[in-house]
Structure 1
Amino acid sequence: MSILSDVLATIFARQTRKALPPPPSARSTEGLIQDLLSTSGEISGMTAAAHILDRFGKLDDAGKIAFFDHLAGDLGISPDQVRAAIDAFEADPNPANYARFLAAAEPARQELARRLNRVPGATPQLVAMRADLLRLIPRKDARARIDLDFQHLFTSWFNRGFLVLRPISWESPAAILEKIIAYEAVHAIDSWDDLRRRVEPEDRRCFAFFHPAMPDEPLIFVEVALTRGIPGSVQKLLAEDRAPLSAEEADTAVFYSISNCQAGLAGISFGNSLIKQVSEDLKSELPDITTFVTLSPIPTLTKWMKEEGIDPASLDDEALRATTARFLLTAKRGDGMPFDPVSRFHLGNGAHVHAVHVGADTSDKGMAESAGAMVNYRYDPETFAENHERFAGDKEVVASKEVRALLRAKAAA
């Protein structure tokens, strides 16, 4: 009966949203927010929430900034109430005092987001709302604190337990395939034929995470090449005239492109779970695959070289390999983390720097960003937990002997 009630409630709610009565013409959005936070009635709350979301979607940038001003200024926490609640809990840590502290410490805008999310179809609207927030409010602006509330909620709403891994193939719905083309952020997909070469052959795979509240919107996807041996050139990997390999002949799975799809979910980590789940599924399907690596871009290499006074055009292949190894192993931000964002991602997931390649990405983008260099990060199930701890605890960049030898050779020179 509970399941049936939920289904009927969902159907009723959707019909309710289609036939919403107009809000009172004089009722401001701030007034509707107050109504939503104060009401206990499900239908009246649904009506107010739907109107708030619809109004926000129609605002220009100035109107959206004013909306965020209201969230930051009027729907935060009261320091006095928090102090009083924590004093009461410290004096008597009973459940009632603990509940009062939790209520005081949570800003009203978090409860607003929860109530807005009760409206069918609200989740993608809230994701889009956060995308607007990230676009319009500078990170150092005090109002950017409200993004911590979005992050707190989205980390729960989009945790691994809710995500669905789906393979993307040439038989997938055209609307999904169009989004794969649009969202590809590493190696642009130039045409439908290009997409077909990436998802149809037996030695090519693509997987994406979806969320039940956004069933037609991929959150993140990974493109995989099944190969014999570890490749060192993305142009060869994606060549139009390459001879496809039988999947049973492959011994290596290469994650050559990972693309986040939703700007409003920036900073909500899916990549770690995606790579590990895909690795497990491929290993189950094809037991002869024993090596899992990336073929990754190095998007900040030439920027760093210029800051170091190094002219990429002056380096021969060996010098470029050694300089790239130096960058990957030693170039750090002020907080001690690697300079390169792709490196931070894979090392944080427990991979290690396995090999450096030059002439690996000769596209205009590859030459501009990394002088054509690329790197393999290797995911070894036996070591990635230890690697992750070394990186998270000590910011240690774990690398193969071959890559470390390049660094020593550079130092000797």
Structure 2
Amino acid sequence: MAPTALKTRSSKSSDPRSWVERLWASLSLRSSTEVDRTGPLVPPLDRAKRLAEALLSGRGEASGAIVARELHECLRTLGAEDRLAFYRFLATGFQPDAKRLRAAAEAYLADPSAEGAAKLAEVADPTRQELLRRMNLSLGGTAALVAMRKELAQHLRDAPELKLLDADLKHLFVSWFNRGFLELRRIDWQSPAAVLDKLIAYEAVHEIQGWDDLRRRLAPDRRCFAFFHPALPGEPLIFVEVALVEGLAAAVQPLLGCDGQRIDEAAAQARAARADTAIFYSISNCQDGLRGVSFGNFLIKQVVEELKAELPQLTRFSTLSPVPGFRRWLEKRMALPGAADAALEKPLKAEDWWQDPAKADALRQPLLRFCATYLTGPAGPKGSVDPVARFHLGNGARLERINWLGNVAPRGIRESYGIMVNYLYDLDLIEANHEAFAQDGTVARSADVDALMVEEPVPPVRARSSRLRRA
């Protein structure tokens, strides 16, 4: 027995290659740029496909992590067309086993038990999801998959077959980026420069005009919080900017104002001490590859708790939000045959109408009324027609106030004629508001918003109605 064992060890030691090199030889995955590994030359795209298939073999976790790393490195060398071909390869292949799926479905129909349902769900999962999980084994695998989904988004319209791959990635990200893995951090002027630089780059609502502007937004009467994930170190997933003020803010320019002068730290601290309201004036998602994975609802609720603990005098938590869909909605309405509001079209086309007090005053009431109608009207298949409204109303906020010329920056005028909205987060009513909106689209709103939708007082009509009821 001993000589045999000795011979075996001698045979293994006679091969000078490492076990990793022997793995590549067994997979025949040598690329045309790798002269130090045995096996036939393989075009990069074919090599990526073979690596993907190898990941689903029965190899152990250690070798699987190495194959995953090699696959990601291979994908980085591919040109755009070859990467798209690889994505099609993932999307159209790696489907559930049709025979096993049919058998499981028939078994469940014959005996609809919990065990049968679990088995059916297991068999219905495409092997593509397991492949993506194994691609996540390598260092940096999560970031690579997030980048993959970002790139996929550019092709979904022209290549609908990629939607299956996109859906699988989203499905996995919802699990991998759930609230239990997220870390809330406050960002201030002492945060790493790389993180501050990303805030400037990722700001999606009110552009940050360089470092002086950023410093103003991080002053003592401001707060900024972001969610981070351990798999994406140093990369914020979403961040929120907060102003500490007295009363509801009606316009965003005073909150953003950065006149280039040195910030008076003592005055800003005094404003923070007097503040009774926290205004969430910008919420920006940072990772395009994580679209559809919800972070904002968790972020707002946790930031409210953080602010309450730090500044117990705060009694109101509200947003100052854009209405990005309003202008498109009103233009479509005015274009309808016989539209009564078509008369608005001409004054709205006047150059810089918002800077002319007379013109702006004439448009104020009709535009506020139409905006209230837009935000409270019948919900579509996805709820409110406005994406920002849908987000805040779905989180349990109340439509509190609609502000005239709240944002006179070019983007604000272009999207919503300068109108901005306060969504109020009343902590005692959040759950009830959320349930009402989720069940039938009921929009929780203030009496002030309701009053905007009344074109003109109609007491005579009300009086006649009153007499009829008495009769």
- TM superposition shift of 1:31: 1.3
Does 2:326 match 1:326? no
Shift of 1:332: 4.5
Q: Contact 1:323 / 1:410 at 8 angstroms: preserved in 2?
A: no
Q: CA distance change for structure 1 residues 359 and 54 in 2, over 3 Å: closer, same or farther?
A: same
Aligned runs of 1:167-186 on 2, under 5 Å? 167-186=186-205
Cα deviation, residue 101, structure 1? 2.9
Q: 2:51 aligns with which of 17, 23, 32?
A: 32
Does structure 1 residue 289 correspond to structure 2 residue 346?
A: no
- Counterpart of 1:346, as a letter, is H
1:94 to 1:304, Cα distance in 2 relative to 1, 3 A: closer
Unpaired runs of 5+ residues, structure 1, are: 1-15
- Describe the SS at the equivalent of 2:455: helix
Superposed CA offset, 1:122-172 (max 9, x none): 111110011111121228824312222111110010000000000000000
Look up the match of 1:264: 289
- Residue 229 of structure 1, aligned match among 247, 268, 279: 247
Residue of structure 1 aligned with 2:70, choices 35, 44, 51: 51
Matching of residue 251 in structure 1 with residue 298 in structure 2: no
Name the CA distance, whole Å, in 2 between partners of 1:407 and 1:350: 22
Shift in Å at residue 90 of structure 1? 4.9
The 1:96–1:339 alpha-carbon spacing in structure 2 relative to 1, beyond 3 Å, is: closer
Query: Aligned AA for 1:137?
Result: L
What is residue 144 of structure 1 aligned with on the other side? 163
Matches within 5 A, 1:121-140: 121-138=140-157
- Using the TM superposition, give the Cα deviation of residue 331 of structure 1 relative to its aligned residue in structure 2, in angstroms: 6.3
- Residue 212 of structure 1 is matched in structure 2 by 230
TM-score (norm 2): 0.78
* Alignment-derived partner of residue 6 in structure 1: none
Measure, in 2, the Cα distance between the counterparts of 1:61 and 1:379: 45
CA separation of 1:206 and 1:139: change in aligned 2, threshold 3 A: farther
SS of the aligned residue for 1:298 comes to: coil
Report if aligned partners of 1:61, 1:136 keep a CA contact under 8 Å in 2: no
Computing the radius of gyration from Cα coordinates, the structure with the larger value is: 2
Q: What's 1:12 paired with? A: none
1:132 match: secondary structure? helix
Could you tell which deviates more after superposition, 209-218 or 311-320?
311-320
Mean Cα displacement is larger for which, 162-171 or 317-326? 317-326
Measure how far apart 1:82 and its partner are: 1.3
Count of residues paired in the alignment: 394
Give, as a single letter, the amino acid of the residue that structure 1 aligns with 2:85.
A
CA contact (8 A) 1:337 1:395 kept: yes
Mean CA deviation greater in 69-78 or 298-307: 69-78
Amino acid at match of 2:302: Q
Kindly report the root-mean-square deviation, in angstroms, between the aligned alpha carbons of the 2 structures: 2.5
| Aligned CA distance change for structure 1 residues 331 and 239 (closer, same or farther; 3 Å) | farther
Give the drift of 1:94: 8.2
Counterpart Cα distance in 2 of 1:153 and 1:118: 13
Q: In structure 2, the residue corresponding to 1:246 is in which secondary structure?
A: helix
Give the distance between the partners of 1:410 and 1:161, measured in 2 at CA.
51
Q: Distance in 1 between matches of 2:98 and 2:319?
A: 48
SS at match of 1:354: strand
Change (3 A) 1:273 1:96: closer
Shift of 1:409: 3.1
Q: Which secondary structure state, in structure 1, belongs to the residue aligned with residue 453 of structure 2? A: helix
Hey, what's the Cα distance between the residues in 1 that align with 2:70 and 2:302? 39
Q: Residue 392 of structure 2: which of 301, 325, 346 is its match? A: 346
Instruction: Find out whether 1:307 has 2:353 as its counterpart.
Output: no
* Equivalent residues of 2:205, 2:284 under 8 A apart: yes
Q: In structure 1, what residue type is equivalent to 2:406?
A: A
- The residue type paired with residue 234 of structure 1 is V
Change (3 A) 1:97 1:328: closer
> Which stretch of structure 1 is more off in the superposition, 258-267 or 319-328?
319-328
Deviation at 1:325, TM superposition (A): 1.1
Q: Matched residues in 2 for 1:33 and 1:239: separation?
A: 52
Determine if the alignment matches structure 1 residue 74 to structure 2 residue 74.
no
1-structure distance, mates of 2:94, 2:440: 38
Helix, strand or coil at the partner of 2:250: coil
Instruction: Specify whether residues 139 and 145 from structure 1 end up closer, same or farther in structure 2 by C-alpha distance, changes over 3 A only.
Output: farther
User: Measured at CA, do residues 328 and 92 of structure 1 come closer, stay the same or move farther in structure 2, by a change above 3 Å?
Assistant: closer
Q: In 2, Cα distance between the equivalents of 1:237 and 1:405?
A: 27
Inter-CA distance 279–95: structure 2 relative to 1 (3 Å threshold): closer
**Residue 24 of structure 1 aligns to which amino acid in structure 2?**
R
1:91 Cα offset (Å): 4.7
Structure 1 pair 393/93, CA: closer, same or farther in 2 (3 Å)? closer
**Structure 2: tracts of 5 or more residues without a match:** 1-18, 32-41, 335-343, 349-358, 459-471
Q: In the alignment, is the contact (CA less than 8 A) between 1:138 and 1:144 conserved in 2? A: no
Moved more, 34-43 or 155-164: 34-43
1:189 counterpart = 2:208: yes
Q: Match of 2:426?
A: 380
Cα distance in structure 2, aligned partners of 1:365 and 1:163? 32
- Given the superposition, is the C-alpha separation of residues 21 and 87 from structure 1 closer, same or farther in structure 2, using an over 3 Å criterion? closer
| Aligned counterparts of 1:55 and 1:64: Cα–Cα separation in 2 | 10
CA 1:347–1:288 in 2, change beyond 3 Å: closer, same or farther? same
1:71–1:146 CA contact under 8 A, matched in 2: yes
Distance 1:384 1:43 in 2: 47
- Measure the CA separation in 2 of the matches of 1:130 and 1:166: 26
Pairing 1:83–2:102 present:
yes
**Aligned pair in 2 of structure 1 residues 411, 270: CA closer, same or farther (>3 Å)?**
farther
User: Match for residue 402 of structure 1?
Assistant: 448
The residue type paired with residue 426 of structure 2 is D
Alignment map for 1:95-134 (pairs within 5 Å): 100-134=119-153
Cα distance in structure 2, aligned partners of 1:263 and 1:93: 40
Tell me what 2:14 maps to.
Answer: none
